Amino acid sequence: MAVDFLKLAVPGVRSLSPYQPGKPIDELARELGLNEKDIVKLASNENPLGPGPKALAAIELAMEEITLYPDGAGFELKKALCEKLGVRTEQITLGNGSSDILDFIMRVFVNDGDNIVVSQHAFAIYGLLARMQGADCIQVSAINFGHDLNGMAAAINDKTRVVFITNPNNPTGTWITKQELVAFLDKVPEQVLVLLDEAYFEFVHEADYPDGIRLLDSYPNLVVARTFSKAYGLAALRVGYGVSSPELADLLNRVRPPFNVNSLALSAAAAALNDDEYTASSIAVNDAGMKQLTSAFAELGLSYIPSVGNFIAFKVPDGVVALDVYKKLLTKGVIVRPVANYEMPEYLRVSIGTEAQNAVFINALKAVLV
């Protein structure tokens, strides 16, 4: 009799389904016989400019040593982060993407029977990680697609180990003000960790938006996670970081796999961090693209959720099925992101592209909504 490996798997894994990322360009090309060059992917919140020149130059230099293991301590990247952020080396944990930091938090602090608290419409990986640990995921209903921080504070109980806050939130693009965040942190018991996911913070212009790193000295139970995948254009290299108290960082680094960030990523991230011209261009393209898309939605009479990230979720017209719109856009070589699994079945999320990419999407959307 064949072995039933499902029964051998740990209980928290048996009910999981693999995380579904945005459809890759080459996959769509194969499925529909399209030319890859004609496909516009606006599904995964990637940087439409590609990597910056300083990052590319650093990668080229690092290529000469790819037969060697990377610096397991990430000295140069940590040094660059300390200079940029005004933190100490012992506060930093490097990750293979910021998702690594989320995983480390769960593995260090969450046991079978514990729970985490998240917001409705928040990043799906939080719940997946909890279930892998055998923990429960308490989801608190959103208010206007954003975090209900009072409700999340009230949901904390004696089994709660971590609360996840995403600011700005993905896929809704909503944000939390500094006053709201501080008021929430004051309510959280000191033994409960708060993971503040700031993957999109570089794109935010609102004056009342908080810099989580500036709050670390006041809240020892706070961990801030950030990434180089978005504003810095290094999504394929998978490099992110967490900043916390030295005590928390020490524990996170104990479960960090050796050499979890590769040499090319370490070098590119250190270079990109100080490429201010490239970062400014990324933000400018995003600002212009956001205006381009919201103007088009207004012209089409489509409602949308105001966003401060590099993406925006829009609602399809009444009587129209969002998944059908998504599929029709695919036939025109445009990839966006369905968000029904985020309890937003009437919405689609579109990443901000270049002016030309946005125009392709807008024209395709007009055509499929006729």
Higher pLDDT, 17 or 39: 39
**In this prediction, what percent of the chain has a pLDDT beyond 90?**
87
215 contacts 184 by C-beta, under 8 angstroms = no
Dist CA 119 CA 342 (whole Å) = 11
Cβ neighbors of 16 (< 8 A, separation 6 or more) are: 128, 131, 132
364 CB neighbour count, 10 Å cutoff: 20
**Which value, to the nearest 10 degrees, does the dihedral of the CA atoms of residues 163, 261, 97, 109 take?**
-10
139 contacts 128 by C-beta, under 8 angstroms = no
Give φ, ψ of 36 to 5 degrees.
-55, -35
Dist CA 272 CA 279 (whole Å) = 8
Residue 44's SS3 state is coil
Task: Kindly tell me if the per-residue pLDDT of 272 is higher than 70.
Answer: yes
* Nearest alpha carbon to residue 281 among 120, 45, 51: 51
Dist CA 17 CA 363 (whole Å) = 34
pLDDT one-digit tens code per residue, 151-201: 999 999 999 999 999 999 999 999 999 999 999 999 999 999 999 999 999
Dist CA 343 CA 322 (whole Å) = 12
Cβ neighbors of 319 (< 8 A, separation 6 or more) are: none
10 CB neighbour count, 10 Å cutoff: 10
Answer yes or no: CATH 3.30.1180.10 is held by domain 21-50+277-368: no
Q: Which CATH number is correct for 53-274, 2.30.30.90, 3.40.640.10, 2.70.170.10, 1.20.1250.20?
A: 3.40.640.10
The whole-number pLDDT of residue 91 equals: 98
pLDDT one-digit tens code per residue, 305-364: 999 999 999 999 999 999 999 999 999 999 999 999 999 999 999 999 999 999 999 999
Dist CA 334 CA 358 (whole Å) = 10
List the chain domain ranges: 21-50+277-368, 53-274
pLDDT one-digit tens code per residue, 113-159: 999 999 999 988 899 899 989 999 999 999 999 999 999 999 999 99
**Which value, to the nearest 10 degrees, does the dihedral of the CA atoms of residues 279, 266, 227, 323 take?**
100
CA distances in angstroms from 260 to 93, 312, 365, listed in the order given: 11, 32, 41
CA 288 to chain centroid, in Å, comes to 21
- Kindly state the tokens that stand for 228: 């180089």
- Match 């048996």 to its residue by tokens: 14
Dist CA 173 CA 153 (whole Å) = 21
Question: Peptide bond before 171: cis, by omega within 30 degrees of 0?
Answer: yes
**Which value, to the nearest 10 degrees, does the dihedral of the CA atoms of residues 78, 81, 82, 87 take?**
-110
38-60: average pLDDT: 94
